[in-house]
Structure 1
Amino acid sequence: MGPSLNLDVSASNFTMNNLYHHSERGIDILHNAVALAALHDSGRKFPAAKMPSGNAYGNDAEAPQMVDGDRSVDHYPLASWSCRCGQICHHADFLLGTAGCRVAWWFLFLQTRPRYTCIPWLKAAICRNVEGDPTILARSLQVQLQKLISEPAQLRPIDENQKPVIIVVDGLDECEGQHVQEEILCTIRNFTSQYHLPFRFIVASRPEAHISEVFESPFYCGRYRSVDVEESFKDVKKYLCDEFSRIHGEHRTMVNIPLPWPSPEILKELVRKSSGYFIYASTVIRFIDDKNYRPTEQLAVILDRTSSSSTFDTLDQLYIRILSSAPRQDQLLPVLCAISNFDFCPGTLDQLLGLNNGDARLLLRGLHSVLEIPEKDNSSLPISPHHASFFDFLNNPRRSGTFYVGSSHYQMGLAQSLLSLLAGEFRMDIVNCGSTWEQSPLSFIPFITSLPPRTELLSPIKQLNPDYVFKRYLDLEDFDKFLQWLKKIPGAPADLVELWEDYEYMSFVVKKFPVAKFYTTSNKSSVLPPLDIVFQIPGMPRLLQILILVDTDFPEWHVREIRPLTGLTWDDLKTTICALRPIVGRDVDKIRELAHHILHGSFFGEIYPWPTLCRDLARQLICRARATSSLESLTQ
């Protein structure tokens, strides 16, 4: 019996005694020392998604290491090590022992296949080094890499036509300690720069800030390529289609369910929610494929966001683990509530929540794995989730627990902050937040009306800047819902209700009048008062002419775009438009008749299309375009 080799991993209170004989083979020594659960196909790992044949896939659960057996050996992940399989695998001490053993095992397997007889030289060299000095497995990371990777590889004559061997390091972010993760990356970089090695390292990891900083440093400049293997919507769709087809064929209860199942719309929604991540798709399939339930009912549960099932346990555990490690959680949760409801850039978040400049970035620094946070050079871009399911998680109390941001406390706080922000001076950075109308902060009306009518919202509502109210096109139903909601607030001031009734009527007129010119009037006798009365209203002739000239093919031309062309203040514009209420009200025929008179009347000696007014408007629009262009260039 030879000496014992003690590997003391004190950080996890774990000690492993490896006994070996002097006559023991290197492959056996490696096998005894390896963390078996770290192998990519280990049965000790969490279950992975079953992927379509012949493709390599990457997601938050598995690295891109599933390869069709018919492919060339040069494409095999000959060394594959995972940090995702429990406590003992989180330590860098196991990395190279596992990688070396994985390389050796692959070549031992390949020895039985004649077409690969040119490969076993690496296996032999690794085993020989371990047999000569078994203490390699207890040495530093640098020594292990040199003895188990660099030196064996250098024994082989350089062949420029030889394709590189792939070494996959899966889940680097789960290796214990940031300094260990950084050490692994630096060690790999050092050896690949010092030696001509026939290897390519694939590091699969969440984009944690410290890992991204290493890759973006001058140390790695030009020596790596970032590949987002997770954005694989087509592969996810194919996977879901194949699996749904299999489920439909295997489950007896599906005999009378017509194809296609599920419908293309539902399939599209599931693909969208996956954001290209197999971790979501595989979780969905495992849940629906439960033989104890009808797949149609299971799918209905998936589509129900309020479900209390444990469908997403694997995904939720990942999210909870990430969020639990974030500091200042009392400040973080309002931030998460804001970005789960609206698109906000980091700088606007600071102002929204009364944070110091740059605090939003600091609060979210540890969440780069679940959130796309724009660089400072692109600070106008909104924060968005890598996974669409992340926001679903945050808004489901049964799934997110203490990280639930859909409570009335957080929602009401966000409403007050948002209304206060929109009460200030008009700012384009707020307008530009939101890749879609639904996610824009300017879509606050549907959000507000989703909350209980509370008196604490009255004051910020009254102070709202009309520029924000009318910046985006609002459906008249939105105004109606808001008015109904506003009237339910105990003690809602009559003047505030009247103000929003005026806003709604302004929107109605600006929406209906431009299209009235395309319709003929009815044969009914005129019920309009003399036009002299209409045109005596200050600002009315110019307003109606401008409305006639507005191109209705551009719905974003709404009340806010009309106001500067009239030269009126908001109060004056409101007074002018609402003066039409007793004249035409909501009678479409009256509006068409008024438009007809405008089109066929003479104003200041000119008839439609009023050349002087058109030139005036053209000059205004050119000046506005130049001003906007200059502003954008200053902010870029």
Structure 2
Amino acid sequence: MDWTNAKIHKINDTYSARTPLGFYSSDADIRVFLEYKFGKLKEEHPLKGNFAADWSSHTEYSRLLQLCLQGGFVYASVVMRYLESTWYYPPTRLSAILNLQQDPTSTSSSIYLDALYRHIFSSLANLPQGLDVLTVVILHRGSRMTPKFVEDLLISGQGHVQSILTDLEPLVLVPQSTNDLREVTVCHGSVREFLLDPKRSGRFFIDSSTAYGKLAVFCMKRLRFQQFVPHTEGISPIMDIFPLLSNGLSYRIANGS
């Protein structure tokens, strides 16, 4: 393993989904990370044969680097996941990133990240269904949020979670098989914070007070029709959805609703 690879592994080991924003802010490490990931993108992306010879000129790369230095490591990592998607043409996506407009009225310390998140969420083909899936994922406590669990809870067909969240690839890790027992997870806690803050997320806001009620309705429908399929053997429907119902009740009591 060469020095750069070793450095990237160390960076990734230090960074995790629970690392607070601003914790990992070394400019030197962001430079190493971006140079390494961008170089790999140009060498390995399936559409690399269509890249213009002068794509990602020094000027473009410098602008991207400055955005990443201002936005921090989380911003840089999300940008690279956005550019690396094999479903889209990286030059077009880079141009979109470089032309994003930050909210001039925002007082958030995450102004660059917020603009990036809004841009990515705006790409959802079916926003209501996408937010339903994310509501389950970010508000649950106790249940394992496998694709199968989410699909059964939302009364949707096999493959629904993967198809709905395709465009959220930079923000959400989704197992490719419905029968995969790994969980659907957000890449960083800042995604949850963004969605639960109306000033930051705007039309993508998830209101906890109404969301828990909506989840409770889904849970009761599944129990009523006895179609809820446990994600692992030996777990009853009631035990599987009880954490969601319990959390919803606790939230409403705590908030006096």
Is this a same-fold pair by TM over 0.5?
yes
* Shorter-chain TM-score tier: 0.5 to 0.7
Mapped to 1, the partners of 2:30 and 2:112 lie a distance apart of 23
Matched, 1:335 2:133: yes
Does the aligned pair in 1 maintain the 2:149–2:230 contact within 8 Å? Answer: no
How far, CA to CA, are the matches of 1:430 and 1:359 in structure 2? 19
CA distance in 2: counterparts of 1:388 and 1:416, whole angstroms: 26
More helix by share: 2
Is it true that 1:405 corresponds to 2:183 in the alignment? no
1:468-547 correspondence runs (5 A): none
Find the residue that maps to 1:95 and give its secondary structure: coil
Contact in 2 for aligned 1:430/1:441 (Cα 8 Å):
no
The correspondence for 1:446, drawn from 228, 247, 256, is 247
- 1:316 CA displacement: 0.9
The answer as to whether partners of 1:352 and 1:418 remain within 8 angstroms in 2 is yes
Native 8 Å contact 1:372 1:385 kept in 2: yes
Q: Tell me what 1:226 maps to.
A: none
Partner of 1:95: 54
- Residue 376 of structure 1: SS of its match in structure 2? coil
Query: How far apart in 2 are the matches of 1:397 and 1:390?
Result: 13
Query: CA shift at 1:410, angstroms?
Result: 2.9
Tell me, in whole angstroms, the C-alpha distance in 2 between the residues paired with 1:54 and 1:360: 34
Partner of 1:72: none
Q: Secondary structure at the match of 1:415?
A: helix
Distance of aligned partners of 1:369 and 1:378 in 2 relative to their CA distance in 1, 3 Å threshold: farther
1:362 has 2:163 as partner:
yes
Q: Which whole-Å CA distance do the structure 1 matches of 2:206 and 2:117 have between them?
A: 14
State the Cα distance separating 1:330 from its structure 2 match: 2.0
Length-normalised TM-score, structure 2: 0.56
CA distance in 2, matches of 1:391, 1:358: 23
Change (3 A) 1:430 1:414: farther
Equivalent residue for 2:112? 314
1:541 corresponds to: none
Which of these residues, 382, 385, 388, is aligned with residue 183 of structure 2?
A: 382
1:392 is the counterpart of 2:186: no
Shift of 1:364: 0.5
Using a 3 Å threshold, how does the CA distance of structure 1 residues 53 and 366 change in structure 2: closer, same or farther? closer
Q: Distance in 1 between matches of 2:41 and 2:137?
A: 35
Q: Cα 1:312–1:80, aligned 2, differ >3 Å: closer, same or farther?
A: same
Looking at structure 2, the residues matched to 392 and 338 of structure 1 have their Cα atoms a distance apart, in angstroms, of 15
Shift of 1:401: 1.0
TM-superposed CA distance for 1:213, in Å, is: 9.7
**CA contact under 8 A between 2:171 and 2:186: conserved in structure 1?**
yes
Alignment of 1:51 with 2:44, yes or no, is no
Q: Distance in 2 between matches of 1:357 and 1:81?
A: 32
Q: 1:54 to 1:429 in 2, by over 3 A?
A: closer
CA distance 1:81–1:393, change in 2 (3 Å): same
Could you say what secondary structure the match of 1:205 adopts? helix
TM-score (norm 1): 0.25
Residue equivalent to 1:251: none
C-alpha distance in structure 2 between counterparts of 1:349 and 1:95, whole Å: 44
Alignment of structure 1 residues 431-470 onto 2, 5 Å? 441-443=241-243, 444-451=245-252
Q: Residues 346 and 360 of structure 1 are in contact (CA less than 8 Å); yes or no, is this contact kept in structure 2?
A: yes
Please say if residues 41 and 84 of structure 2, whose CA atoms lie closer than 8 Å, have aligned partners that are also in contact. no
State the 1:52 CA deviation.
6.0
User: In 2, are the aligned partners of 1:328 and 1:363 still within 8 Å (CA)?
Assistant: yes
Against the structure 1 CA distance between its residues 94 and 362, is the aligned structure 2 distance closer, same or farther, given a 3 Å change threshold?
A: same
Alpha carbons of structure 1 residues 442 and 64: separation in structure 2 relative to 1, 3 Å: farther
Q: 1:429 aligns with which of 228, 231, 240?
A: 231
Change in CA separation of 1:213 and 1:330 when aligned onto 2, cut-off 3 Å = closer
Structure 1, unaligned stretches of length 5 or more? 1-48, 66-76, 83-90, 103-169, 172-203, 215-307, 434-439, 453-480, 490-636
Question: Deviation at 1:397?
Answer: 1.3
Match of 1:211 in 2: 86
The aligned residue for residue 152 of structure 2 is 351
Report the alpha carbon displacement of residue 398 of structure 1 after superposing the two structures with TM.
Answer: 1.3
Which structure would you say has the larger Rg? Answer: 1
The one-letter code of the counterpart of 1:51 is S
2:128 alignment partner AA:
D
CA positional deviation for 1:404: 0.8
Residues 242-279 of structure 1, C-alpha deviation per residue, up to 9 Å, x if partnerless? xxxxxxxxxxxxxxxxxxxxxxxxxxxxxxxxxxxxxx
Distance in 2, Cα, partners of 1:344 & 1:410: 16
Gaps of 5+ in 2: 1-23, 43-49, 66-78, 90-105
Please identify which structure carries the higher strand content: 1
For the residues of structure 2 that align with 1:324 and 1:421, how far apart are their CA atoms?
30
Q: State the aligned residue count.
A: 188
> 2:249 is matched by which residue type in structure 1?
I
- 1:428 positional shift: 3.7
Q: How does 1:34-433 map to 2 (within 5 A)?
A: 51=26, 57-58=32-33, 62-64=34-36, 92-93=51-52, 95-96=54-55, 98=57, 205-206=80-81, 211=86, 309-342=107-140, 343-376=144-177, 379-422=180-223, 424=226, 427-429=229-231
